[in-house]
Amino acid sequence: MIPPDQLRRLLQDAVTHQNAGRLVKADAIYRKIRAGSPNNFDATHLSGFLAIQRGRYSDAVVLLVAAHRTNPRSAICAKRLGFVLLALGQNGEAERPLRIAVQIDPKDAESWDLLARSLMLQDKLQAAIDCHKRVLSIEPNNVAYLYSYGTTLLQFGLIEEALACNERILAIDPSYAKGHYGKAQALHRLNRVLESVESYDQYIAREPENATARSFRLFALNNLDQISREKLYEEHVAYGRFVGAKAVPTFPNVVDPERRIRLAILSPDLRNHACAYFIEPLLQYIDRGKFEVYLYHDHYKEDSCSERLKKYASVWRNFVGQPGEVVEKTIRSDAPDVLMDLAGHIAISNRLPLFARHLAPVQITYLGYPNTTGLSAMGYRFVDEIVDPKGESDAYATERLVRFAPAAWSYLPPSEAPSIDELPARGGEGVVFGCFNSPGKITDAMLSAWGRLLQSVPGSQLLLKGPGFSTEGIRNSWTRRLSSCGIETDRVELLERAPGTREHLTQYHRVDIALDTFPYNGTTTTCEALWMGVPVVSLMGDRHAARVGGSLLTALGRTEWIAASPEEYIAVAARLAANTADLRRNRKRLRTEMKESVLLDHAGQASRFGDAIRSCWAGWCGRAGLGDTPADTHLPDSDASDSSSKELLGCGRGEGAVLSDS
């Protein structure tokens, strides 16, 4: 037991060192105190805070739990415990100490703000909003707390309110960088894409090191029909320069092209999400004798889909909230042979800057993002010959394009999908065109084309669906936009986003013909429409995002629904609308056609997927010095009746795609 006077001196010395940033010295003194007085609250609590300062969150939890047990009436200790549990993604566990903190000190705005975050991350909307209101009743003009409130509003789809919140922030303090970021996010969700890009630029000018904002800006640019393919590519290459070309480390992986490959997949969407519809069948059927699967989830939600996916993995980890250096250390410790990204620039907090550090010998991007990542460290991108034609597309990718199958997609229809209903346009009148794609993909040029289509098909209607369409402000905004693009608004119905998958798919019972968006096509929505017996009209453009619909329809054998120009797009849709009998026949047989197509050949697609990964791995082994395996490895050419791709690895990086070698 340390004598009281000596204990006071030691504590004072430790606090002095801690306040001065001499954390190692402070830690040594706290350890000495805890060894001599293990129940000393101050030493244990401050040691926990010091562990937070050093980024050692797991250690912090142990120390703060012990301190909280010693003194359960310390509001600051409870608050810090709640904070670190949130940082570790333990959102439910964080709620209890944070509730204790606000009960002890109800005027502490920070504790209420942390509690609001805990409740938001548990999908407790009203409870989270109530906490934010308590925060703002204490500090109404605190821009950090207003930004936190705006984040919660955005999370739950209260987009106009989130925009107003961030505009209030900027009225209080125009220099507050996060206000511009929150405004950009809200404008992006409101489909005011040009304005959102301007706000992203405002934020990046103030916080140039934020990679996530740069990614969201790139994602937004994909929705613009005013940007050229060349300019869009240059923007992605600039991102690659921003994250830099890191030195390639020496990997411990055994160089053997034939051995079992450790495949790790990193995604925030290993849950009930569109991405899961396309990766799950590949994981289900991939050869376990040839591949050991590691799944790295990166989102606070885990659900029934997550539970299914866990069954396909030898290892499941959730990296949500973990700092990059911790994620990097974990992945390097796992030593995957192949690391696959499924998000690109779309994820809220993507991990592309980590991929730039070469976390695995082979790095591949696939599925989630319809463009190049811009990273020189991302070796490959899995596509097909329709979305990325040979030669033409290679110059617009910093990765090597791998055309691994006739179609790059393997679709898993939702088990809760309803049966197909009768055609809405009974008797040949009142044809309903529908678009359930994200409203952010709907450009003015597209609305103009839809207006001409409605004029050419008498009595036709347009059904649009999206988040926020039930709110007065967003509906009024869309009504004005539709009118300005020449669309009679009494022929348009705006439908709110459905609460569940079955309800969403049931709404296709109201649609005769689906209209794909351009230049950013749908993927999941196209497959869903076809599965529900609804033909899809798609305009084939000059880039990946504008060719996905063409890829899916080609895989289905329905190339007659692919248009090469807006005029042809209108003509194809009008021709479909004119033949009710054909629409009725299509409605009855499209689901069968889907089942018989390569899109639902799950075992075959998984085999092609695995072969493509093996080919990339063999290329690395060849470059690493084993045997004479060439870097550009191809599968043998196959018979025309064979559904496997004849060429796995496309042409190399185009001249314009070369970044500094890493």
Tokens (6 digits) for 357 = 């550090």
Residue 289 phi/psi, 5-degree rounding, is -75, -20
* CATH number belonging to domain 426-597: 3.40.50.2000
Closest among 92, 104, 14 to 53, alpha carbons compared: 14
Helices and strands in the chain: count of H runs, count of E runs: 26, 13
pLDDT digits (tens, 9 = 90+) for 516-552: 999 999 999 999 999 999 999 999 999 999 999 999 9
- Whether 243-410+601-662 shares its CATH topology with 426-597 is answered yes
Fold of 243-410+601-662: Rossmann fold (3.40.50)
Beta bridge partners of 465: 495
Categorize the per-residue pLDDT at 626 as very low, low, confident or very high, splitting at 50, 70 and 90: low
pLDDT digits (tens, 9 = 90+) for 151-197: 999 988 899 999 999 999 999 999 999 999 999 999 998 889 999 99
pLDDT digits (tens, 9 = 90+) for 225-265: 889 999 999 999 999 999 998 899 999 999 999 999 999 99
Categorize the per-residue pLDDT at 638 as very low, low, confident or very high, splitting at 50, 70 and 90: very low
Q: Mean pLDDT, to the nearest integer, of 282-288?
A: 97
Is residue 632 over pLDDT 80?
Answer: no
Give me the residue spans of the domains in the chain: 4-239, 243-410+601-662, 426-597
| CA 172 – CA 369 distance, rounded (Å) | 36
For residue 482, what pLDDT is reported?
A: 95
- Report the share of the chain in percent with pLDDT over 70: 94
Is residue 645 over pLDDT 80?
Answer: no
Categorize the per-residue pLDDT at 387 as very low, low, confident or very high, splitting at 50, 70 and 90: very high
Q: Mean pLDDT, to the nearest integer, of 383-404?
A: 96
The structure's pTM equals 0.85
For residue 658, what pLDDT is reported?
A: 24
Identify the residue with better confidence: 407 or 625: 407
Is residue 660 over pLDDT 70?
Answer: no
Categorize the per-residue pLDDT at 50 as very low, low, confident or very high, splitting at 50, 70 and 90: very high
CB 186 within 8 A of CB 157: no
For residue 322, what pLDDT is reported?
A: 84
CB 238 within 8 A of CB 217: no
Is residue 634 over pLDDT 80?
Answer: no
The lowest-confidence range among 8-17, 38-47, 619-628 is 619-628
Beta bridge partners of 264: 294, 339
pLDDT digits (tens, 9 = 90+) for 89-100: 899 999 999 999
CB 621 within 8 A of CB 255: yes
Fold of 4-239: 1.25.40
pLDDT digits (tens, 9 = 90+) for 489-501: 999 999 998 989 9
pLDDT digits (tens, 9 = 90+) for 429-480: 689 999 999 998 999 999 999 999 999 999 999 999 988 898 888 899 999 9
pLDDT digits (tens, 9 = 90+) for 354-363: 999 999 999 9
